[in-house]
Chains A and B, each alone.
Chain A
Amino acid sequence: AQSVSQHNHHVILSEAASLELGCNYSYGGTVNLFWYVQYPGQHLQLLLKYFSGDPLVKGIKGFEAEFIKSKFSFNLRKPSVQWSDTAEYFCAVNLLSGGYNKLIFGAGTRLAVHP
């Protein structure tokens, strides 16, 4: 069965530290890849997406992610985090077989950034 694994469930960082959140998926077909963020009490927002082309994608708020097809990975990075980045981050895969949209989510990573 298709699945998405996020390696860290809880991450605690100090402001200005660098961030890397791991995401691996298990599916051999064509995929679209996403990172969503959920700030406390708010809806999920799209941080960035990969559909095709340059495997290094840049999203909002200084986030970027790199798609490495050979490793089935789509890790999220930010060089210097801020307190306002405290949130839960979800990696998701959109399976394209069947011709429609079904997102498979990882379990999420809760990030706490301390001033």
Chain B
Amino acid sequence: NAGVMQNPRHLVRRRGQEARLRCSPMKGHSHVYWYRQLPEEGLKFMVYLQKENIIDESGMPKERFSAEFPKEGPSILRIQQVVRGDSAAYFCASSPGRENIQYFGAGTRLSVL
């Protein structure tokens, strides 16, 4: 049973470009969470999604960031017009239900030049 898969592992973008981060949850998991880890800080919750629905996006910046979890395919975290402050590690987690343990992927490290 494959774990949570994130790709790419490393992503380099120039200021103003778009970044797309992908997350495939574990088999049988329909709940996905995105977290961001800034340097020297802990993980901060960004958004919680179920298939085709955003349940809680209270941790998402109001502009440039969006997330989706379509019926088919991986969850996508999209950052438009990236700035240097977006440089961070972005982690995805999944769970089978809303109160279950979350299993994490290896993360995507975004570097904005």
Contact with A along B33-64 (1 / 0, CB 8 A): 10100001111110010000001100000000
B45 near A102: Cβ-Cβ < 8 Å: yes
Given contacts A43-B105, A44-B104, contact A104 B45 (CB under 8 A): yes
Bound complex: CA of A99 vs CA of B55, how far in Å? 11
Q: Which of B102, B106, B107 has the most CB of A within 10 A?
A: B102
Q: Which residue of B lies closest to A107 (CB)?
A: B42
Whether A101 pairs with B42 at a CB distance below 8 angstroms is: no
- Encode contact with B along A96-115: 1 for CB under 8 Å, 0 otherwise: 10111111111110000000
A104 to B43, CA, bound (A): 8
The answer, yes or no, to whether A70 is at the interface (CB within 8 Å) is: no
In the complex, what residues of A have CB within 8 A of residue B71's CB?
Answer: none
Smallest beta-carbon distance A30→chain B, Å: 11
Q: How many A-B residue pairs have CB under 8 A?
A: 63
- Using Cβ atoms and an 8 Å threshold, which residues of chain B touch A107? 40-42
Question: A56 to chain B: closest CB distance in Å?
Answer: 19
Interface size band for A: 20 to 34
Q: A43-B4, A44-B91, A90-B43 are in contact. Are A103 and B106 (CB under 8 A)?
A: no
Residues in chain B near residue A44, CB distance under 8 A: 43, 91, 93, 104
Cα distance, A41 to B10, chains bound together (Å): 11
B72 at the interface (CB under 8 A from A): no
Q: A42-B106, A43-B106, A44-B91 are in contact. Are A99 and B98 (CB under 8 A)?
A: yes
Would A4 and B42 be within 8 Å (CB), given that A43-B105, A101-B100 are in contact? Answer: yes
**Contacts A43-B106, A100-B99, A103-B35 given; 10 further ones with Cβ under 8 A?**
A41-B106, A42-B106, A44-B93, A101-B33, A101-B99, A101-B102, A102-B33, A102-B56, A105-B42, A105-B43
Would you list the 10 A-B pairs with minimal beta carbon distance, nearest first?
A105-B42, A44-B104, A43-B106, A100-B98, A107-B42, A105-B43, A43-B104, A106-B42, A108-B42, A43-B105
